[in-house]
Structure 1
Amino acid sequence: MKIRRMSPSDLPEVSRIQRECYSESLLETVDSFSAKLSVAPDFCFMAVQGELVVGYVVSLPWVFGEVPDLNGAAYLVPPNADSVCIHDMAVTPTARKAGAAEHMLDAVLDVARHRGYQRISLVAIQGASSYWMRHGFKIVNVGEPLKTDLSAYGQEAVYMAKTED
């Protein structure tokens, strides 16, 4: 399994993988992924198995307790960013046992650590909170404003975080 930085030429593969992994209501456009990639290219990675792209992760510096808009058209890294938000990580069903997710998570944690971010947050969807708990993430109790933002991510969406030492 090879992990490499994402480039704009990878966005069609990102679209392919998300269609394999998510329901229609959660799909984001290539333009939205491009906007996130353009503001935080060092935090976005691809997993390649042989010659086949089997996964991606899009993350960006963000403010803890807030989430990036789902399928937004423009993003800016907040000047007061105090954490890294894993906005989306997906692995094709055929490659889920190959360790792609763990390797991509390690890549995000490494760059976050290198940049001085100790807290990582994410929105677990489609019942994935148990996966993230196995990697040290905990469910964070959220107030009404964040609950409203989470509703765009589906009924099962859960805000989670972990702190790196």
Structure 2
Amino acid sequence: MMNTNTFAYRAIEISDIPDILHIQAENYPISMQEDEGIVRSRILAAPDTSLLVLDHHGVCGYLFAYPSLLGRVAALNRPFVIARKADTLYLHDLAISRRVTGAGLGKSLVSVATELGKMKGFTYSSLMSVQDSLGFWKKLGYQVRPSIDHASTAALHSYPDNAVYMVKPLVV
């Protein structure tokens, strides 16, 4: 576990599911909320790249991320497909509890995850920007990339209309 001021970061565990579902419900409309079984499968599929942040009250944010390929998009409410020869850390779901809004935890979780991605040898980090979060991701160095791979076209349609695929190089 890594401590930063009054916050601690660690890998997500199965026992965190109730807290994750609560924070997810605070942040997303029902159409974008992923069910408990999918959350469980994601923890099992990517245990060393999915993180959460805690304060003295408990879990206050999470980030599901997994090894992928540049141009590959994860569909909502579907299991992760872990790439064998991954070049990209895909950030699938970042959510912060309302009780800590404004503490900079979203930026901090992304920073911890991308540093982890660099240590694991990933060349890129990618994501789908949803809910008008484009400005947030641009401030973190992500840029819109219009092309996704052919296999991801159906996955793209699982997102709201304003979803945008974004990429950030991890190796300069």
TM-score (normalizing by structure 1): 0.92
Q: Partner of 2:158: helix, strand, or coil?
A: helix
Aligned to 1:96: 101
Unmatched runs of 5 consecutive residues or more in structure 1:
none
Say which of 6, 17, 33 aligns to 2:12: 6
1:64 aligns with 2:79: no
1:21 equivalent to 2:21? Answer: no
Distance change in 2, residues 1:3/1:88 (3 Å):
same
**One-letter amino acid of the structure 2 residue matched with residue 45 of structure 1:** L
Match of 1:117 in 2: 122
Q: Which of the two has greater helix per residue?
A: 1
Runs of 4+ displaced beyond 3 Å: 143-148
1:142 is matched with which residue: 147, 150, 154? 147
**Displacement of 1:96:** 2.1
CA-CA distance at 1:149 after TM superposition: 2.4
Give the match's secondary structure for 1:3. strand
Could you tell me which residue of structure 2 aligns to residue 83 of structure 1? 88
The one-character-per-residue Cα deviations of 1:39-92 (angstroms, maximum 9, x if unpaired) are: 2111111111222311100000011111122111x4341213221100100012
1:143 to partner: Cα distance:
5.6
Query: How many matched pairs?
Result: 164
Q: Which residue of 2 aligns with 1:39?
A: 45
* CA–CA distance in structure 1, aligned partners of residues 119 and 51 of structure 2: 16
How far does the alpha carbon of each residue in 1:85-126 deviate from its partner, in whole angstroms, 9 at most, with x for none?
001000122312112112211221121011100200000100
Which secondary structure does the structure 1 equivalent of 2:157 belong to?
Answer: helix
> In the alignment, is the contact (CA less than 8 A) between 2:72 and 2:149 conserved in 1?
no
Question: Aligned to 2:48, what secondary structure does the other structure show?
Answer: helix
Given that 1:17 and 1:90 are in contact with CA atoms closer than 8 Å, whether structure 2 keeps it comes out as yes
**Cα distance in 2 between the residues matched to 1:46 and 1:98:** 15
Identify unmatched segments of 5+ residues in structure 2. Answer: 1-6
Q: Identity over aligned residues, as a percent? A: 25
Q: What amino acid is the match of 2:135?
A: S
Q: Report how far residue 148 of structure 1 moved.
A: 4.1
